[in-house]
Amino acid sequence: MDSEKRKIARLTWQRFRASLRMLVKSESGPKAVMLSSLLIACMVAINVFNVINSYVGRDFMSSIEHKNIHGFKYEAMLYLVVFAGSTVAAVFYRFTEERLGILWREQLTRRLTDVYMSDRTYYRLDSGSGVANPDQRITDDVRAFTTTTLSFILLILNGTLTAISFSGVLWTISPLLFGVAVVYAICGSVLTILLGRPLIRLNYYQLDMEANFRSDLIHVRENSESIALAHREGRFKARLNKRLDALTFNFRRLIRINRNLGFFTTGYNYLIQIIPALIVAPMFIFGGETEFGVITQSTMAFATLLGAFSLIVTQFQSISTFTAVTARLYKLTDAMDKAQNATICAIEVGEMPDRLSYEEVTLYSADKSRLLISDLNLEIIRGSRWLVTGADDAPKVALFRATAGVWACGGGRITRPGLDDILFLPERPYLPPGTLRDVLLRTGMESVTKDYQIMKVLTDLGLQEVVTRAGGLGVDQDWDDLLSIGEQHLISVARIFLAKPAFVFLDRPGSSLPKNLISRILDLLTEQNIGVMILSKNGESRLRYDGHLEIKSDGAWEVRHELPDENQSELNDLSC
């Protein structure tokens, strides 16, 4: 962890600059530059009004001391003008900061989302990246990074302008007071770093622990029926309590360190109010050369200058959280870069329309301890039906995933159509939330495919009642709650007929569909010249196929092209 923190410390500034460059060079760059310029203008205006305010305040208090009623009224009017100008500048400053913050967050979130969803990065990231809760990092961490980074940039710029503006004011009042301010700020910053350094590590852990706890709660909500049927409430209660114990223990440590740091920083801030008076008041009392208003001016100038010099003291808790967020985002972006550049499948995958072939394809189990398929050579033409059987599901599933390009353990070459022309229907279908039209159609086909075409496919599969139950094709639904597994499977099959790919893989459809319906689906696929490969579960093996691939338990395989007589007779019975 120490070497990781040192690495993060070395790269934080580099990542920070890269993030800024990315924003400037993006489509939102010109608008970001305009908002930044307006922010700086507002910041300069605020500092100018603050300096003017210090002199107005000085003369205002001096007029009270000298009982100068005319000067009192004049300075009071100036106060109102300065307050009005400061209000306008401060409001526009805050408004512009928020606009720039949301612009930056939108740009960074869109970029991360695009990378996360492209080239199956989301799958590769989950497969073994070691990055926990990427969803939380893209949402909460991006929000915290952009808002906090912008806040720190503005604090540094504002602190620099304030230091320049009020150093001269404080030096003219007392060079000694200026020197005290510098030494006081340096000592306070050093002690704050020493006392609060553990906060960086604890905040890093806290963010992950909070996300893990929330992730388990979401899992319970999304799998509530399965948990209830399996009566696993006790197990999940124990798991949630364990997560809660971890995050509360870590949070207690955060509270203790914040308490110790708070003792120092609170006392540090209180002393700021009295130090200027201790130095300047004797000049007024004993020397007589200093006006009373100068004391109030020195107090304001000293506090303002110390605020500029003491950013580490006043913002260390935020800095520690920011450092943790930066580290987490760095780890996420680094993992996504590696996932995109990594070769997920050692098998060479080529693309060719209307062809599916396997050349010397060898597949191993995920832990590489077992040979699943040895040197498979097979070519399947478009429009043909193939059955894959075996005593074990593992080789069939490995072949299914290797063809899709998501199996890493093996070698050889697979030639298939592009992923837009070959579809894979897993044993448990996946229907994303949305409208029925969105579920059934490929992205970009919504305006091309007409409703009557969708309804014809659904009618052929006996799904008219599903449309009625869903409220039509354009109503958002949570399909896991609305449809049975069999209906979800049929909706996935309907998507195949609307997409019209060259080939389709069906993983054990007999788990949720009867064999007569599978036979009907095969006939419809053949009519549309769609090649199909079925991974056998039970009833599928008794239907008609053009070829049969049998995978042995030792990885050997056998291909048969002729059909047994009993299969053909059973098909004739089904036809009747």
Task: Summarize the confidence of residues 209-235 as an average pLDDT.
Answer: 77
Residue 8 · residue 66 · CB < 8 Å: no
> Which one, of 299, 235, 239, lies nearest residue 53 by Cα?
299
Domains belonging to the chain, first-starting first, are 2-341 (1.20.1560.10), 348-431+483-575 (3.40.50.300)
pLDDT-based confidence at residue 69 (cuts at 50, 70, 90): confident
Min mean pLDDT across 44-58, 243-257, 499-513, 553-567 is at 553-567
Q: How far is the C-alpha of 100 from the C-alpha of 37, rounded, in Å?
A: 11
| Predicted confidence (pLDDT) per residue in 446-466, tens digit | 777 888 888 998 988 888 888
CA dist list (Å): 193 to 7, 202, 269: 19, 15, 16
Provide the token pair at 7: 């690495």
Q: Which residue has the higher pLDDT, 109 or 125?
A: 109
Orientation of helix 69-117 relative to helix 2-25, angle to 10°: 100
Query: What per-residue confidence (pLDDT) applies to 29?
Result: 85
Among 83, 101, 123, 116, CA closest to 39 = 101
CA distance linking residue 101 with residue 149, whole number of Å: 9
Euclidean distance between CA atoms 145 and 158, whole angstroms: 19
Q: Where are the alpha helices (DSSP H) in 118-197?
A: 121-128, 134-136, 142-173, 175-196
Most confident of 5-9, 11-15, 295-299, 460-464: 460-464
Residue with tokens 């939108």: 106
Structure-model confidence comparison of residues 319 and 546, the more confident one: 546
> What is the maximal distance between C-alpha atoms in the chain?
120
Higher pLDDT, 312 or 471: 471
Work out whether strand 355-364 and strand 410-416 pair parallel, antiparallel, or are unpaired.
Answer: antiparallel
Task: State the Cα–Cα distance between residues 306 and 163, nearest whole angstrom.
Answer: 8
Question: Which residue type sits at 16?
Answer: F
Q: State residue 411's pLDDT score.
A: 86
Which one-letter DSSP state was computed for residue 390?
E
The highest-confidence range among 176-180, 316-320, 475-479, by mean pLDDT, is 475-479
- For the segment 1-6, the average pLDDT, to the nearest whole number, is 50
Residues with Cβ within 8 Å of residue 392, at least 6 apart in sequence: 551, 553
Query: What's the token pair of residue 264?
Result: 């120092």
pLDDT in tens, 381-413: 888 999 998 888 888 888 888 888 878 788 889
**Sign of the alpha-carbon dihedral angle for 241, 245, 251, 252:** positive
Q: Can you tell me whether residue 388 is helix, strand or coil?
A: strand
The angle subtended at Cα 312 by Cα 307 and Cα 318, nearest 5°, is 105
E-strand ranges in 317-354 read 348-351
557-560 and 547-551 strand pairing: antiparallel
Separation of alpha carbons 305 and 9, rounded Å = 28
pLDDT the model gives residue 503: 92
Question: What is the C-alpha to C-alpha distance for residues 345 and 364, in angstroms, rounded to an integer?
Answer: 12
Identify the band that residue 343 occupies on the pLDDT scale cut at 50, 70 and 90.
low
Cα separation, 254 vs 78, in Å, equals: 47
pLDDT higher than 70, residue 4: no
pLDDT of residue 265: 73
Q: What is the pLDDT of residue 358?
A: 92
11's CB contacts (< 8 A; 6+ apart) are: 330
Identify the bridge partners of residue 559 per DSSP, sorted by sequence position.
Answer: 549
| Percent of the chain topping pLDDT 90 | 5
Position 570 pLDDT exceeds 50: no
> Residue 572 above 80 pLDDT?
no
Mean local confidence (pLDDT), 322-334 = 72
| Separation CA 96–CA 569 (nearest Å) | 77
- Contacts for 36 with CB less than 8 Å, ≥ 6 apart: 100
pLDDT band at residue 50 using 50, 70 and 90 as cut-offs: confident
The Cα-based distances of 546 to 53, 309, 318 in angstroms read 90, 81, 67
Whether 7 shows a pLDDT value over 50: the answer reads: yes
Which strands form 557-560's sheet, in the order they lie side by side?
422-425, 503-507, 531-535, 385-390, 547-551, 557-560
Q: Tell me the C-alpha distance between 88 and 265, whole Å.
A: 31
pLDDT band at residue 504 using 50, 70 and 90 as cut-offs: very high
- 156-183 pLDDT, tens digit each: 777 677 766 666 666 766 677 677 777 7
Q: Which two tokens stand for residue 115?
A: 């990378």
**pLDDT (0 to 100) of residue 154:** 77
Q: Please determine, for residue 119, whether its predicted confidence score (pLDDT) is greater than 80.
A: no
Among residues 151, 138, 201, the alpha carbon closest in space to that of 329 is found at 138
Beta bridge partners of 336: none
User: Would the pLDDT of 575 be above 60?
Assistant: no
Contacts with 195 (C-beta within 8 Å, 6 or more apart), sequence order = 257, 260, 261, 264
> What is the pLDDT, as a whole number, of residue 195?
77
Angle at CA of residue 431, ends 427 and 433, nearest 5° = 155
Query: Which residue would you say has higher pLDDT here, 298 or 267?
Result: 267
- Note the residue count of the chain: 576
How many angstroms separate the CA atoms of 181 and 298, rounded? 11
Average pLDDT, the chain: 78
pLDDT tens-digit series, residues 237-294:
888 888 889 889 988 888 888 888 778 777 776 776 666 666 665 655 545 455 555 5
Give tens-digit pLDDT for 98-117.
Answer: 898 888 888 888 888 888 77
Predicted pLDDT of residue 571: 35
Q: Which of 461 and 299 is assigned the larger pLDDT?
A: 461
Residue 377: what pLDDT? 92
